[in-house]
Amino acid sequence: MLRKNMWRLKFFIRRYCCPSMKTTPKCSTGLVKRSISTIDARFVKNIGRRWRLVVPTGVGLSLLAIIQWNYLHEHGYSIDVENRPELLNDVMATCYCCLPLRITSRIWGWLTSIDLPVSLRPMLYGFYANIFHANLDEVELDLSAFPNLVEFFVRALKDNARPIAQDSSMISPADGKILYFGPVTSCQVEQVKGVMYDLRQFLGDLNKLMSEQDDYVNSLLRNPDNRLYQLIVYLAPGDYHRFHSPADWNIKFRRHFPGKLLSVNPRILKYMPNLFSLNERVVYIGEWAGGFMAYAAVGATNVGSIRVYCDPELTTNTVHWPETAHWKEANLGCTRIAKGELFGEFRLGSTIVLLFEAPRDFQFCLQLGQTIKVGQALSRLSSDEFDKEQIKRQHLIMNVAQDWRYIWKPKVEQSRNCSNFIGN
């Protein structure tokens, strides 16, 4: 093959490049070598021009990454675990934290807020739904009614698309995948199976008079005979992005923690311990019928913002934070939220962490990794409790019927008297 191509090149040179001169084998070989060398020179020159741009850019980015890594390695993050900072010693985890994820999240939030042409909206939203397996049959409005992707993310559903379970005092606050559920016995709590995060760092000290030796978990309980439980729900990009109240409860105050915007995808959570405590999050503290409750919305990569309807002053994914501020706290004055009531929304998928106090015989009716919807029961009432609820409802119905009987009784007697008077 090589000899055949060489013969064709020699023939081309003899006929078209130098037809007037007799080319000897030595001459033709020399011309071939010169043409090949010319081609090599041009190729090398083009490669050199490209590397003039690639090399400085790569070196600059590498230097920035090294400087950032050295800073984080020396100073760590200002996250207090028993009054001392916790450093990230793992190289891969630290390099991941060096990525400008907050900048990309703000850029993504800006891009998704750009209004789309009306004619293209159904096609684009349908394409998005096919990729992320979103159910468009539940959407209340027509697809062309959503001006941009952000509004489509936080779309409202049809009435009764998420029925609220009446046989459970605690329901699912969001659509998504269950990453973990179960009792909390210490400050080291599982974010996924086998990977922990620090609860005290996640919530902060709720009692300023509490000393370091006190049991943090038991200090959260209103009744020492109860137990603290946890539920973690991951919202994928195709899920319903609004979240609801899991029970009837009163919100006392809110804490907004600064932090990273690392991905909360379960694949990342497996390799990043304490990720929930590193990420930006909004925690609402209050009480329900069972005792203490903490409702946390955790930020993530490409989550433009977190909106809570009862807290209009909340602003997430901001540019600057005070260096001395560990969190921003706001008093909500015991705001009452009903079970199943709309609570807030994510501007793309993220994670809900629910911590609540309940009796020791409380049992989840869930499985790890299962898909759950808003309004589904987290536990079932026991037979005795269910009978008591049924009896209570029957008494309520009987009381209402008795009241209506007394209301209508004078009118019935009056109509009878009138009929007797007319008959006489």
Q: Given the residues 28, 241, 244, 263, select the one marked as catalytic.
A: 244
Which of these is catalytic: 105, 245, 350, 379? Answer: 350
CA distance 167 to 270: 34
Q: Find residue 176's DSSP bridge partners.
A: 372
Verify whether residue 175 is a known catalytic residue.
Answer: yes
Q: Identify whether 350 is a catalytic site residue.
A: yes
Contact 245, 259 (CB under 8 A): no
Helix (H, G, I), strand (E, B) or coil at 251: strand
Phi, then psi, of 333 in degrees rounded to 5: 65, 45
Which residue is it, tokens 């809110």? Answer: 254
For residue 252, give the H/E element and its range.
Answer: strand 249-257
Our answer to whether residue 105 is catalytic in this structure is no
Determine the Cα–Cα distance for residues 384 and 379; give it in Å rounded to an integer. Answer: 14
* CA-closest candidate to residue 316, choices 355, 345, 357, 286: 345
Cα distances (angstroms) measured from residue 303 to each of 35, 221, 293, 323: 57, 32, 25, 23
Beta bridge partners of 85: 80
DSSP-derived pairing of the beta strands 342-346 and 328-337 = unpaired
Calpha distance 180→232 (Å, rounded): 5
Select which of 105, 175, 198, 305 is catalytic: 175
Number of DSSP helices (H) and strands (E) in the chain, helices first:
11, 13
Measured N-to-C along each axis, helices 91-98 and 25-75 cross at an angle, to the nearest 10 degrees, of: 90
Catalytic residue numbers, as ranges: 175, 244, 350
